[in-house]
Structure 1
Amino acid sequence: MAVGSSALGVGLLALAAVPAAAQPLLGGSLLLTNESVFRGVLQARGRPTLQADLHAGLPGGWFAGLWASAATRAPSNLSNHELNLYAGLGLTLPRGWAAALRYVHYRYADASVYGRPDADELSASLRFEDRLSLSVGLAPNAGRRADYGLVQRQATRAYELVARQPLGWTPAGPLALTASLGHYDTRALLGESYRAWDLGLAAQFGRAELSLARIDSSAAARRLFGVNAAHGRWALSAAWKF
């Protein structure tokens, strides 16, 4: 995983992405966004980005899937395309709570062999209904571009809180306030940690959802990734679930 490169990012992380006890079914989603952002870091330099997810629920709460992004370009210019494979176990708990354990493999297909920051991440999450989610993740082999195009690897950690508060119904469908906050421990890899957050609105239209969010990050993120990649910005996204 190149630091600041993927789709499971602050601000656009759906609470539905934290599975409860998965059922035997196939599902997915398509998303088009004007700002591909992961953990507060801009990925596609303002270019529209298409993202897709396909997943399957298995008996016993197990699930697996893949996520892909086209036109992604990290600040390090490592790759234009990203493919993430993930699997895990979801558990239904009493009183509306659910938990999940997840493994994700990040793959950058068009990066050079020696500079490819493919990596893995393990995470645990706790969710209350579809309103609140807390997750902790560890990537033992996160990478960044080093001398001669090689990738330097160290462990990074992510702590994320995501909230979704229904506001009621509009003539088109339900409207919700969304917010998230993340702290990213990248000291071993980059020398310091940083934070990112967002606040937005999401409106549902049947299986489609339109969202608008203001995303920003701490001064440390701008020092690590540059002002152009970590400045405050608006993200407008349209998603369709099937």
Structure 2
Amino acid sequence: MAYQTLQQEYLQIPIVTRAYTTACVLTTAAVQLEIITPFQLYFNPDLILRNYQVWRLITNFLFFGPVGFNFLFNMIFLYRYCRMLEEGSFRGRTADFVFMFLFGGLLMTIFGTFVNLVFLGQAFTIMLVYVWSRRNPNVRMNFFGLLNFQAPFLPWVLMGFSLLLGNSIIVDLLGIAVGHVYFFLEDVFPNQPGGGRWLRTPSIIKMLFDTPEEDANYNPLPEERPGGFAWGEGQRLGG
């Protein structure tokens, strides 16, 4: 009975969030069980171009390090904000969400080549958090019960927290930069005088991922409750 309930809950997670978080967990489990090693996963342009190890373009986004606090912290934020985006501003627009993944991943891969980053999963998580925070500017956040701020400051708070943990902020800055590029091209520039839409989801992606009907019994994760897990609760101003 518990298994069926767990399975039902798992299948209610929207498809892109479910696929990405599952891939991250399975990749980490495979490393922990010594089925594979991080050396087979990390981003290396030379190995990709010369040895045709093209899987590294994807696997470097799936490994967040060994199981521990840093891994759990990243998984919670990845799952939470990826799901809220998919059930919020990307509701019914799976193809556009997949295109955002591809666009963000491509941009990070290009930038990552110049700053010598070998794993980009954390930067990708920050990108998702950034886009969500800019699309929900009126949500008030509470981080660890210590800080109160509005959603657009969340990526910067996470960067500060990462710095306190002794991590390099280059990863966070990359995620913020790519998130800002996407947000500007998708949400800001089209609404400017003389602006237009530069980002258009290819028709083949729409054909593969968009569905004509939506499940009437589908229960989305409330976007106005962004914190959760005691990492930072939020509510809309005036709500």
Q: Structure 1 length as normaliser, TM-score?
A: 0.22
Q: Whose strand proportion is higher, 1 or 2?
A: 1
Larger radius of gyration: 2
Q: Whose helix proportion is higher, 1 or 2?
A: 2
| Structure with more contact order per residue of length (Cα contacts < 8 Å, sep ≥ 6) | 2
Q: Structure 2 length as normaliser, TM-score?
A: 0.22
